[in-house]
């Protein structure tokens, strides 16, 4: 028995980066895992195969987080496949770094649709199936609390919304034994935020640890929050940022 044996988890945006690390970690903890992805079916399949090669169970579902019907269908697909849903990780997210005044309406709409509208829709669909011990986990951002570089205005606004969504929702579902928490990464080396290049220099410099984080360092926090041990943690914003916001 491992800590998530018999649990069913859905990780949105689980084909690459932080989401893929979370999916693999929850599977290593014993959960059966579904991941969604937007475009890259090859990467999604590789995550499924990695989990299966560890002896776990996994499926991948194409569902753009901005498409409300697609995310609702994804949740129903998970329940139809595994019979239940215990852990939702709202990880899918995007950023379009540029000065606010240069952002197009279309770009801003896309950030809002994926980072917050999709989180509302997926969470609502998941809650229909969740009972006592359920876990709703957001992957917000350290910039949802404190913004230390320019160029992230719509992104930071959506992650601030994720923070308050977490706190507010925890008040509605707590009596059902469901916890709601927000893991807030700092700079983590992924395709979205590579640890090399000009954009990385100021981010690394403002961390207390003077380094980027690894995807597994976020997955470790999600693993704890998903576990029965975290039963009294809810409505919390758990910052994993190498001291960026210290």
Q: What does the alpha-carbon distance between residue 194 and residue 191 come to, in Å, rounded to a whole number?
A: 6
Say which of 37, 155, 212, 232 is annotated catalytic: 155
Q: How far is the CB of 175 from ligand NDP (least distance, A)?
A: 28
CB of 52 or CB of 229, closer to ligand NDP: 52
Q: Which of 59, 60, 65, 226 binds ligand NDP (CB under 6 A)?
A: 65
CB of 138 or CB of 230, closer to ligand NDP: 138
Among the listed residues 119, 120, 129, 237, the one whose alpha carbon sits nearest the alpha carbon of residue 176: 129
Q: Quick check: 15 binds ligand NDP (CB under 6 A)?
A: yes
Stretch that binds ligand NDP, among 52-60, 97-105, 146-154, 183-191 (CB under 6 A): 183-191
Q: Which of 9, 34, 64, 82 binds ligand NDP (CB under 6 A)?
A: 64
What one-character-per-residue DSSP string does 136-185 give?
EEEE--GGGT---SSS-HHHHHHHHHHHHHHHHHHHHHGGGT-EEEEEEE
Q: Which of 4, 9, 10, 18 binds ligand NDP (CB under 6 A)?
A: 18
Q: Which residues pair with 61 in a beta bridge?
A: 36
Q: How far is the CB of 1 from ligand NDP (least distance, A)?
A: 30
CB of 5 or CB of 209, closer to ligand NDP: 209
CB of 31 or CB of 61, closer to ligand NDP: 61
Q: What does the alpha-carbon distance between residue 112 and residue 117 come to, in Å, rounded to a whole number?
A: 6
Give the SS3 label for residue 72.
helix
DSSP H helical ranges for the chain: 17-28, 41-53, 68-82, 105-112, 118-127, 153-173, 200-205, 215-226
Q: Which of 25, 31, 36, 136 binds ligand NDP (CB under 6 A)?
A: 36
Tokens standing for residue 11: 């990780």
Positions marked catalytic = 155
């Amino acid at each position: 028995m491992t800590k998530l044996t018999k649990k069913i988890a859905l990780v949105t945006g689980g084909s690459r980066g932080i989401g893929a690390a979370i999916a693999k970690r929850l599977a290593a903890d014993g959960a059966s895992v579904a991941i969604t992805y937007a475009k890259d079916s090859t990467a999604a399949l590789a995550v499924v195969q990695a989990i299966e090669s560890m002896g776990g169970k996994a499926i991948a579902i194409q569902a753009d987080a901005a498409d409300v019907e697609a995310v609702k269908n994804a949740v129903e697909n998970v329940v139809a496949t595994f019979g239940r849903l215990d852990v939702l990780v709202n990880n899918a997210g995007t950023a379009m770094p540029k000065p606010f005044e240069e952002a197009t309406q279309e770009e801003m709409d896309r950030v809002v649709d994926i980072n917050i509208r999709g989180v509302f829709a997926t969470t609502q669909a998941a809650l229909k199936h969740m009972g006592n011990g359920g876990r709703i986990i957001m992957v917000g951002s350290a910039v949802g609390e404190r913004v230390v570089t320019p160029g992230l205005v719509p992104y930071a606004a959506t992650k601030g919304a994720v923070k308050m969504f977490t706190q507010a929702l925890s008040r509605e579902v707590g009596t059902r034994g469901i916890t709601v928490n927000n893991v807030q990464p700092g700079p983590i080396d992924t395709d979205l935020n590579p640890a090399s290049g000009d954009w990385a220099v100021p981010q690394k410099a403002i961390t207390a640890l003077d380094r980027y984080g690894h995807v597994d360092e976020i997955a470790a926090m999600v693993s704890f929050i998903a576990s029965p041990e975290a039963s009294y943690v809810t409505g919390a914003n758990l910052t994993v940022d190498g001291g960026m916001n210290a």
